Structure 1
Amino acid sequence: MAASGVRRIKLGSQGLEVSAQGLGCMGLSAFYGAPKPESDAIAVLHHAINSGITFLDTSDIYGPETNEILLSKALKDVMREKVELATKFGISYSEGKREIKGDPAYVRFACEASLRRLGVDCIDLYYQHRIDIRVPIEITMGELKKLVEEGKIKYVGLSEASASTIRRAHAVHPITAVQLEWSLWSRDVEEDIIPTCRELGIGIVAYSPLGRGFFASGPKLLEKLEQGDFRKNLPRFQAENLDHNKVLYEKVTAMAEKKGCTPGQLALAWVHQQGDDVCPIPGTTKIENLNQNIGALSVKLTPEEMAEIEAIAQPDFVKGERYMSSMPTYMQSETPPLSSWKASA
């Protein structure tokens, strides 16, 4: 256990050890309104590390690129071995157009660019952010394996990948972690993907464990969102769905009051209690919220309470998709067979 009291866990079976809760850094720079002032963002990052939250999650698309640069500035005076850095590649923006890319040349280009921006020699955990369905996953993994052999990355991860894609990737080089959306209102991954990860000894990194802030603030979250916050466009936050979904928040709030914690802490504790192979990475831009999230590590739920909360948050209760239809998820992550690439390469 870290001196701060945040316990450590082994993520996956390849040797990576991280804080039991990480910090999603995206919102400091992108997608949730205007980027936060650099000094404020760095203060949040330093507070996280000093509190024992040492697993920091970013991506080259956050900004784009500015979030990785922010982390490099925040980590200038931090011993490299004190933090576990995770970043991602695979979503490319060029002339305002988004493209998912996983060909070997792009994998290498993206990795070397992230190393430069982060100001490090090696990335602890490097994820494919979205799967390029034009390239067999074995080809993408082959290049990632080379980058591991060259010492540029330590461990390989996948984000938003189907069970069959995870299996194919893992057969080329061990996958250390799969990042997926898992919360009280996103439980579809429990059917197929979570069991596959556990069978293969792959760690689970749960992003948006607070339902993109929904379980911290409830429906009134929408009133607080800045111009340009992409949550305004998400199906679950549209009026016709939000009216239905707020019932879930109200029931979680009532249970949290009985438990003596906040609704956000209850929602986060539920994710923590899924097992020691699960690391949620809630994001925040405020130190006060960060402290609340750390407090969720102390909230223990009995089997009866877990059953009660799961009866409230049935997997099919929530209305609205997780993303707009233009954003691919694990449901659009099947790649062609390797034989097709050999034939065309």
Structure 2
Amino acid sequence: MITILETSALNTVQDLGRPGYRNLGVGSSGVMDPLALRVGNILLDNDADAACIELQTYPFALKFDRALSFAVTGVDATIELDGRTLLPWSVATAEAGQVLRIGQPAVGARGYICFAGGVDVPVVLGSRSTQLRGGFGGLLGRFLEEGDTLQVGASETLASGYAALPPSVAFRSDAELENKSVVTLRVIPATDYMLFTDKARDQFWNCEWRITPQSNRVGYRLTGEKLELRKPVELRSYGIVPGIIQVPPAGEPIVQMADANTAGGYPRIATVIESDLWRLAQARIGSRIRFEKCNHEQGVDAMQPVEAYLDSLRGMVARYRSSISRRQSGGKK
């Protein structure tokens, strides 16, 4: 069990999400940065969908009631275990009674505390994710509060001393090398792309959009040039998934995120490809972003290096744990 000692609003229990219920009006929820959770679970040899604590506000502190291995992914922040500094994206083991503290990130926006065995809260509609709008999942369907206790899954294996290369380093793009202050996202023109004027389409690709304070887990509201339609349109409601970029009448885009609405009717200008959603999840309020056009085939192909990165990490963890097991058994195979 762990006990929450210090937290602010917005920190929740999440896993990879709740697919399959959008037709009933239930969004998928889940972590904003699925790649960070997948890395944490691989490092700890967890099931891929083991639940974690997603941090959006800092500082955060918790206490362990038993020895337990864990990893903090997603952000580069000050991470301390009883005052001892730990590296992000690495595995460490806490002893009973020790306190983990995480400060404001220097890089990234959302941190993920992953535990060996995962956070053990009730499964609701196939997921442990917190659905804030519906008030279910996670811990009583709400943000974590000071004094809350969480059970963690059973895991007898204790490990430490190895880490993952952060995705921000592994997948650093040429555009980011040229301008580190702007996040570049690959997007595919969407169904309603041609409903916008030529000028609006040019503005969409050439404008530096800024993430506004009105952004949250439902969607990121962007500010920049106003995008105009060729003529007013009324669209039938359609299904929505994370990554869809809608343009409401005010003309400034909204990117749907993890808690995206299940249906909507604003014109769709483009969609962020799956392999780049983690970049947007880690962009802070006020960050500048640019959109880079790609096609469907390029969007699908972009997942290949991500899966190769995860496969390489699985191999490294398997070899490391195997060597630990051999040492503990006196070198016997």
Q: Same fold (TM over 0.5)?
A: no
**Normalized per residue, which structure has more helix?**
1
Q: Which structure's relative contact order is higher, taking Cα pairs within 8 Å and 6+ residues apart?
A: 1
**Normalized per residue, which structure has more strand?**
2
- Calculate the TM-score normalised by the size of structure 1: 0.26
Q: Which has the larger radius of gyration?
A: 2
